[in-house]
Amino acid sequence: MRLSKEKREAMEQYTLEIIDKGYENIAQHIVEVFSVDRSTAFRCIGRLAEQEKIQKIRRGQYTLQQQRWDYVLERKKGDLDSDITVFVKYLEPHIKHLPDNVIHIWGYVFSEMINNVMDHSESETAFVSVRQDCLNTSVYIIDEGIGIFEKIKKHFGFSTADESIEELFKGKLTTDTENHSGEGIFFSSRLMDEFAIFSGGRMFTCNHYDDEQIAVFSKEMMLPGTCVFMKLSNNSAKQTKEIFDLYLDEEGNFIRTRIPLKNIFDRSPVSRSQAKRLTHRFGEFSEVILDFEGIEWMGQGFADQLFRVFRKEHPAINLLPVNMNPDVAKMFRHAAG
Q: Which residue has the higher pLDDT, 247 or 61?
A: 247
In the predicted structure, residue 143 carries a pLDDT above the cut 80: yes
Tens-place pLDDT, residues 20-74: 999 989 999 999 999 999 999 999 999 999 999 999 988 878 999 999 999 999 9
- Which H or E run contains 197? strand 194-199
Rounded CA gap, 160 and 273, in Å?
14
pLDDT at 32: 95
> Could you give the CA distance from residue 230 to residue 100 in angstroms, rounded to a whole number?
18
Shared domain for 161 and 34, answered yes or no, is no
Q: Among 158-167, 168-177, 239-248, 300-309, which stretch is predicted with the lowest mean pLDDT?
A: 168-177
Is pLDDT at 106 greater than 60 in this prediction? yes
For 255-269, what is the mean pLDDT? 91
Indicate the DSSP class of residue 81: S
Residue 31 belongs to what domain range? 5-64
Stretch (H or E) spanning 232:
strand 226-233
**Cβ(256)–Cβ(286) below 8 Å:** yes
Which amino acid is present at 259?
Answer: I
pLDDT digits (tens, 9 = 90+) for 113-135: 999 999 888 899 999 999 999 99
Q: Are residues 96 and 230 in the same domain?
A: yes
pLDDT value of residue 305:
97
Q: Rounded distance, CA 198 to CA 220, Å?
A: 6
Decide if 246 is inside a domain. no
Instruction: Answer whether residue 250 is part of any domain.
Output: no
**Whose CA is closest to 278, among 196, 201, 165, 187?**
165
CATH number where 327 lies: 3.30.750
Domain match, 181 and 73 both: yes
Specify if 249 maps to a domain: no
**Among 240, 263, 297, which residue terminates a domain?**
240
Average of per-residue pLDDT across 10-27:
94
Q: Give me the number of domains the chain comprises.
A: 3
What pLDDT is stored for residue 337 in this prediction?
Answer: 76
User: pLDDT digit string (tens) for 217-242?
Assistant: 666 666 779 999 999 999 999 999 99
Residues 57, 71, single domain; the answer is: no
Under the banding of pLDDT at 50, 70 and 90, the label for residue 177 is low
Average pLDDT over residues 170-199: 83
Residue 43 and residue 72: Cα distance in Å, rounded? 41
Pair 275, 325 in one domain: yes
Domain-located, residue 247: no
Q: At what angle do helices 184-191 and 100-120 cross, to 10 degrees?
A: 150
pLDDT at position 46: 94
